[in-house]
Amino acid sequence: MRVLCSCPMKRLLAGLFVGVALCLSQVAQAQTNTDLNSGGLAPPPPVESTAPPVAPISPEDDLKRADKEDSGRGLEFVWLNAEGGYQNLGLQTFHANNLVDAKLVKSTESGFMFGAGAGVRLLFLTLGARFRLGTFDSWQLWTLNAELGLHLPFGRLEPYFTFGGGYASLGSFNTSSFKAAWDDVGLKASGLDIRGYNVRGGFGMDYYVANAFSVGANVTGDLMFLSRPKSTTTVQTGGDPVKEAAAEVYARDGSSVGGALAITAVLGLHF
């Protein structure tokens, strides 16, 4: 009786054990295979980069881009300008050593001045040459200078600083009053060679009406270092004390340190 009862019980327990094992196996398999496909979701496909390759940028292209971003005008290589305005010049402002006889010739004058310049440019720096001629009642003065400029572009508006120096000459362009003063003491104006050198500094501002054309103004100051050899012309004074004093001045070497201030309007071309 005991055997008959135990066999069905064992079969029942074995069946339950097999059922539980199958359930656990299915659960484990479901957990292993669980991913984003559950609930209809699926991971996005892998993204492949299809962007075109970037071409290398040359140094010249980089300079052009940088200059255009700074000023909006593009790269500039060559410049030309013309100027005209007013200049005050003292031949013996800082030092006088008988360069001219102040009783016959004015040593300080004001008058019209014009000039022209040309050169090259690399980004913010310019290098070039400038000619200026100042016309005055008693004499004329011309200068030929090398010039360095530092420019600060702000779009169309461009302030700048200039520094220069070079050759200066007085008397090569003789006016009637200058010649008459020398004739008064029996000298030839062409025989008095007054020349030397100058140094210059200035500040200006240009406005670019177009990429190749600008209008502006500048203010410059000069130091003039002038000298002359003594005159070898025999002077007939006729006992006139003024002529005798002038003859004594020009019979010796003369020199001076003068100063000039100029304000000019400027028209420029840029390429």
Would you kindly state where each structural domain of the chain is located, as residue ranges? 60-270
Contact present, 173 and 194 (Cβ < 8 Å)? no
Ranges 40-49, 126-135, 150-159, 249-258: which has the least confidence: 40-49
pLDDT digit string (tens) for 185-198? 666 655 577 899 99
Q: CATH number of 60-270: 2.40.160.20, 1.10.1040.10, 3.40.50.300, 3.40.50.10490?
A: 2.40.160.20
Residues 6+ apart with CB under 8 A from 1: none
Q: Is the model's pLDDT at 71 over the cut of 80?
A: no
| Residue whose tokens read 């054309």 | 213
Q: What is the CA radius of gyration of the chain?
A: 46
Strand bridging mode 254-270 / 213-228: antiparallel
Q: How confident is the model at residue 32 (pLDDT cuts 50, 70, 90)?
A: low
Q: Is 38 helix (H, G, I), strand (E, B) or coil?
A: helix
Q: Output DSSP code: residue 211.
A: T
Residue 96 backbone class (left: φ over 0; alpha: ψ -120 to 50; beta: rest):
beta
Q: How confident is the model at residue 134 (pLDDT cuts 50, 70, 90)?
A: very high
Contact present, 117 and 147 (Cβ < 8 Å)? yes
User: Rounded to whole angstroms, how far apart are CA atoms 56 and 79?
Assistant: 31
Dihedral sign computed on CA atoms, order 156, 161, 163, 164: positive
Residue closest to 203 by CA, chosen among 214, 218, 221: 218
Q: How confident is the model at residue 2 (pLDDT cuts 50, 70, 90)?
A: very low
